[in-house]
Amino acid sequence: MPPLDMDDISRYTALPDDARVLLERPERELRVTMSLRLDERLVQTDVCVVYFNTARGPAKGGIRFWPTVTMPHVIELAEKMVWKTALVGIPFGGGKSGIALDPTKFSRMQKTAVLKEFVHVLRPELLNGMYIPAPDMGTNSADMAVIFGETHLPECVTGKPPRVGGLPGRLEATGRGLATCVSAAAKEFLKQDLEGLTVAIQGFGNVGSWCGHFLSQRGARVVAVSDISGAVTARGGLDVHKLAEWTARGKPLDDFPDYDKLTNAELLAMNVDILVPAATENVLTGDSASAVSARMVVEGANGPTTAEADAILGDKGIPVIPDILANSGGVIASYIEWRKAKSGSLTSRDETFDTVDELVLSALARVTDFTSRRKVTPRLAARVLAVEEVVHAMADRGWI
C-alpha cells in the first residue's frame, strides 16, 4: 500500500502538529515471547500486539497467524484499521496482533493449544476490552471460538461462529461490502450500472468468492477468477457458485475442467471493466500495473497496490477504490457482532447485510464528493476524511 503522507493530508485539512505526533507512530507496541510444548516439540515465538490509535474506541484488528509476521508489518496493519474504522464511522480504533508461526504446520488440536496460550499471555488486554481481535490471515471462526471459550466474554472477540455468539452474515460480510462498493463505484466513476459489466477477481478465497457471488446476483458478468494455482475464464461469464463449491472441496481452480485457463498475471491484464484484487498484498506492482487495462480497480485485499503501481494507474486515468473503503464490510460486521454481544440483541443475516451496505455506501458517497470537489484520487480522499475523523476525536478527548 502506498504510505500515508501527512504532508499530503495537511494540504486538504487542518492537521495540528500535536495531532501529527500521535498519528505518525503507534500508541502502544507489545511484544511477548510465547513458549509451549506440543507433544515432543517446543514451540517458541513472538506475539506482537499493536494499538495504533484508540481515540475513537477500542483497538480493533485481526490475529494474523503467519510465519512472516513482524512488528513493523503488524504496525502497518494496525494503522490501516484506524483509517478503515474512522472512514465508515464505527466506534473503534485500530489495532492488530500477530503470531509468527505457520498454521499449516499444526493440527487442529495443536493450533487450539497455541491460541489458548495466546489468550494466556494477553489475558489483561482481552478482558479489559481495549483490544478486540477477529480472524485474519491464518485464523478463522473456529479459532475465535477458542478465544471466547477461554474468556467467556462474547464481546471480547468477533468473527465467532453464529452458534457461539457470532453474527449471521459475518462470513459473507467482507465480500458483500466489496460487491456493494463495486456496484456503487461503477455508477460514480464509470457512469454505468453494474448490469452487464465485466469483472475479473484475483483471489477466490472467502472475500473474492462471496464478492463474485453478490456481483453475479446483481447482474455483473464475472469473467475470470483466480487462486494460487492459476485462473479460469469464460467471456460469457463464470458460474461462481459452481466454482465456490469446487474450491470448498479443496480443489484448485486450475483443475476445474469446464473453463479456459489463465495465469494470475494474465488475469491482472485482462480487458475488463472492473479488476478486483482480492488475494493478498502487493500484487499490483510497477510491472503488473503497466499491463492493467481494466477501467477501474477496486481493492478487495489489504494493500494490493504498491506506491509505484498506484502512480502508474493514476497516470493511466484508472480510478482505484482503496481497501480502507472497499473491504470494510468485515470490520462493520465485527462492530455489529460486538454491539450484539454487549446488548444481548438478536440480529439476522439480512440486517447484517443492510447495515454493511448502508455504511459502505455512506462512506463511498463522502469519498466521491470529496474526490469531485477537490480533484484528488479516491485513495487520497478516503485518507483525508479518515484522518479528519480521528483528529476531531482526539480533540474531543483532550489529547490535542
Residue 40, pLDDT > 90, answer no
Q: What are the cell numbers at 130?
A: 481495549
- pLDDT (mean) for 117-144: 95
Predicted confidence (pLDDT) per residue in 76-104, tens digit: 999 999 999 999 999 999 999 999 999 99
Judge if 118 and 175 occupy the same domain.
no
Tell me, yes or no, whether 256 lies in a domain: yes
Q: Which of residues 126, 146, 166 is at a domain's end? A: 166
Tell me, yes or no, whether 398 lies in a domain: yes
Question: How many structural domains comprise the chain?
Answer: 2
Judge if 395 and 323 occupy the same domain.
yes
Judge if 63 and 176 occupy the same domain.
no
Which residue pairs from 302-308 have beta carbons closer than 8 angstroms and sit at least 24 positions apart in sequence? 302/1, 302/77, 302/80, 302/327, 303/1, 303/76, 303/80, 304/1, 304/202, 304/277, 304/278, 304/279, 304/280, 305/1, 305/2, 305/277, 306/1, 306/2, 306/282, 307/1, 307/2, 307/3
Kindly indicate the confidence band of residue 39, based on its pLDDT and cuts at 50, 70 and 90: confident
Judge if 177 and 262 occupy the same domain.
yes
- pLDDT (mean) for 127-153: 96
261 is catalytic: no
Task: Judge contact between 372 and 391, C-beta under 8 A.
Answer: no
Tell me, yes or no, whether 342 lies in a domain: yes
Predicted confidence (pLDDT) per residue in 254-309, tens digit: 899 989 999 999 999 999 999 999 998 999 999 999 999 999 999 999 999 999 99
Residue 214, pLDDT > 90, answer yes
In terms of residue numbers, what domain contains 338?
Answer: 168-400
CA 365 to chain centre: 20
Given this model, what pLDDT does residue 100 score? 96
Judge if 301 and 365 occupy the same domain.
yes
Judge if 148 and 282 occupy the same domain.
no
Query: What's the one-letter identity of residue 242?
Result: K
Predicted confidence (pLDDT) per residue in 42-88, tens digit: 999 999 999 999 999 999 999 999 999 999 999 999 999 999 999 99
- How far, CA to CA in Å, does 82 sit from each of 45, 46, 383? 27, 23, 10
Residue 4, pLDDT > 90, answer no
Judge if 264 and 399 occupy the same domain.
yes
Given this model, what pLDDT does residue 86 score? 98
- How far, CA to CA in Å, does 320 sit from each of 26, 178, 282? 27, 13, 14
Tell me, yes or no, whether 16 lies in a domain: no
CATH of the domain at 51: 3.40.50.10860
Kindly indicate the confidence band of residue 2, based on its pLDDT and cuts at 50, 70 and 90: confident
- pLDDT (mean) for 225-232: 95
Q: Which of residues 108, 134, 166 is at a domain's end? A: 166
**Active-site pick, 84, 96, 111, 340:** 96
Quote the mean pLDDT of the chain: 96
Judge if 280 and 393 occupy the same domain.
yes
Judge if 119 and 195 occupy the same domain.
no
Judge if 124 and 260 occupy the same domain.
no
CATH of the domain at 273: 3.40.50.720
% of residues, the chain, pLDDT over 70: 100
* pTM for the whole structure: 0.95
Query: Helix (H) and strand (E) counts for the chain?
Result: 15, 13
Q: Which of residues 166, 194, 229 is at a domain's end? A: 166
Tell me, yes or no, whether 18 lies in a domain: no
Given this model, what pLDDT does residue 118 score? 97
- How far, CA to CA in Å, does 280 sit from each of 1, 107, 143, 276, 299? 11, 24, 21, 11, 10
Judge if 182 and 293 occupy the same domain.
yes
Given this model, what pLDDT does residue 1 score? 67
Predicted confidence (pLDDT) per residue in 186-209, tens digit: 999 999 999 999 999 999 999 999
Tell me, yes or no, whether 14 lies in a domain: no
Tell me, yes or no, whether 52 lies in a domain: yes
Tell me, yes or no, whether 241 lies in a domain: yes
Judge if 140 and 150 occupy the same domain.
yes
